[in-house]
Amino acid sequence: MSDSDKTLPPGSPPPAPSTHAPSPWERNVLERLVLDIVAERRRARRWGIFFRMCVLGLVLAGIASLYLGERSPGVAGPHTAVVELQGEISATGNASADNIDQSLRDAFDAPQTRAVILAINSPGGSPVQASRINAEIGRLRALHRNIPVYAVCDEACASAAYYVAVAADRIYVNPASLVGSIGVLMNGFGFSGLMDKLGITRRLLTAGANKGFMDPFSPMTPKQRQYAQTMLDQIHQQFIAAVEKGRGARLKVDDQTFSGLVWTGQSAVQQGLADGFGDTNSVARDIVKEPHVVDYTRHENVVDRLAQRFGAAIGMGAAREALPAGAWVLR
């Protein structure tokens, strides 16, 4: 009979299991595994804390920007209100009609505003946004006839920026400012010739003869070119009408006035495109006679910027179909 078949006497404890001491190699593997698990959990906790802090920071920044962006500047006493129009005029930037128009409304509505200075430093941009700002200045001037509006041009006040400036009562420039550029352009690239040389065929299917109008990979027909020129001429005439209305008899028109040329501030004054020389401080001090300047410019906050970009990404889809991004620019 084998030892395994032997019967233990009643009440005897079961035999102790055989023990096998782990080898040094097994012990090292187990220790490394435990240490790795502990380290991984620590890293997970640290990243969790980091992401929570990031979310908290964004929430606090959004709340702070909403508070700071919506509140009106603390104003005590009579003052000259300033609204800055800086950079390209576009629907998605700080120099959008929404931002500038609201800033102007805030400035005009302040009870002790003596005058409003629109401080411009812009090469131009969207004719639509410029037209909206021009119209809003006209509306506010009609509502607040006792508050004059002065456009003060810094480095540049060209194209759409000048479209905005002509709505003011007077325009002041630096002798070296770049002023004017009363014209409209639509630019882009055409790659159809290069594609022919490379043996590449554009597969563009449309429903509508002109749906692919101004596609950079397709040739432009003479009829389409004429249609594009008609659009430019219409916008140009709108620009000219705004300049003639704003400048009136002060404008000395010749064959170059509406040709798209840009002039120095010195030439602009001579041709009636501007009224004199000055900057924001000198106009507030010497023209308005109120050197106390208060800035009413509204800047986009974090929440507005995110919402606007999300909305633009959806809302501009149709425009991108008609004018492919990076292919054509209208200004």
CA distances from 194 to 109, 189, 191, 216, 217 (A): 57, 11, 5, 11, 9
Residue 203 belongs to some domain of the structure: no
Range in 100-104, 254-258, 296-300, 305-309 with the lowest mean pLDDT: 305-309
- How many C-beta neighbours within 10 Å does residue 282 have? 14
Q: Report the pLDDT value the prediction gives residue 203, as an integer from 0 to 100.
A: 67
Q: The domain containing residue 49 runs over which residues?
A: 42-71
Residue 306 belongs to some domain of the structure: yes
Evaluate if pTM is beyond 0.85: no
Same domain, residue pair 56 and 147:
no
Q: Report the pLDDT value the prediction gives residue 247, as an integer from 0 to 100.
A: 94
* Mean pLDDT, residues 297-321 taken together: 54
Same domain, residue pair 85 and 103:
yes
Burial of 228 (0-12, 13-18, 19+ CB in 10 A): middle
Q: Say if residue 181's pLDDT is above 80.
A: yes
Q: Report the pLDDT value the prediction gives residue 179, as an integer from 0 to 100.
A: 96
Position with higher pLDDT, 109 vs 1 = 109
Separation of alpha carbons 277 and 26, rounded Å:
87
Q: Report the pLDDT value the prediction gives residue 11, as an integer from 0 to 100.
A: 61
Whole-number percent of the chain with pLDDT over 90: 51
Same domain, residue pair 172 and 283:
yes
Q: Say if residue 168's pLDDT is above 80.
A: yes
Residue 223 belongs to some domain of the structure: no
Separation of alpha carbons 69 and 297, rounded Å:
10
Q: Which residue type occupies 284? A: A
112: domain CATH number is 3.90.226.10
Residue 158 belongs to some domain of the structure: yes
* Mean of pLDDT over the chain: 80
| Domain final residue pick, 71, 91, 110 | 71
Q: Report the pLDDT value the prediction gives residue 163, as an integer from 0 to 100.
A: 96
Same domain, residue pair 120 and 170:
yes
Separation of alpha carbons 17 and 12, rounded Å:
15
Condensed to tens digits (0 to 9), the pLDDT of residues 52-110 reads 777 676 656 555 554 444 444 555 689 999 999 999 999 999 999 999 999 999 999 99
| Domain final residue pick, 51, 71, 91 | 71
Condensed to tens digits (0 to 9), the pLDDT of residues 104-126 reads 999 999 999 999 999 999 999 99
Q: 311: helix, coil or strand?
A: helix
Q: Say if residue 22's pLDDT is above 90.
A: no
* Mean pLDDT, residues 154-172 taken together: 96
Condensed to tens digits (0 to 9), the pLDDT of residues 215-269 reads 777 777 888 888 888 998 999 999 999 999 999 999 999 999 998 899 999 999 9
Asked if 246 contacts 166 with a C-beta cutoff of 8 angstroms, the reply is yes
Q: 63: helix, coil or strand?
A: helix
Composition of the chain by helix, strand, coil, percent to 5: 45, 15, 35
DSSP state of 15: P
Same domain, residue pair 88 and 157:
yes
Same domain, residue pair 279 and 246:
yes
Burial of 34 (0-12, 13-18, 19+ CB in 10 A): exposed
| Domain final residue pick, 20, 55, 71 | 71
Condensed to tens digits (0 to 9), the pLDDT of residues 34-55 reads 778 888 888 887 777 776 777 6
CA distances from 3 to 7, 8, 14, 225 (A): 9, 10, 14, 106
Separation of alpha carbons 276 and 254, rounded Å:
20
Q: Report the pLDDT value the prediction gives residue 304, as an integer from 0 to 100.
A: 52
Same domain, residue pair 302 and 243:
yes
Same domain, residue pair 62 and 120:
no
Q: Say if residue 12's pLDDT is above 70.
A: no
Separation of alpha carbons 130 and 122, rounded Å:
11
Residue 85 belongs to some domain of the structure: yes
Position with higher pLDDT, 265 vs 7 = 265
Q: Report the pLDDT value the prediction gives residue 166, as an integer from 0 to 100.
A: 97
Residue 176 belongs to some domain of the structure: yes
How many domains are contained in the chain?
A: 2
Position with higher pLDDT, 13 vs 163 = 163
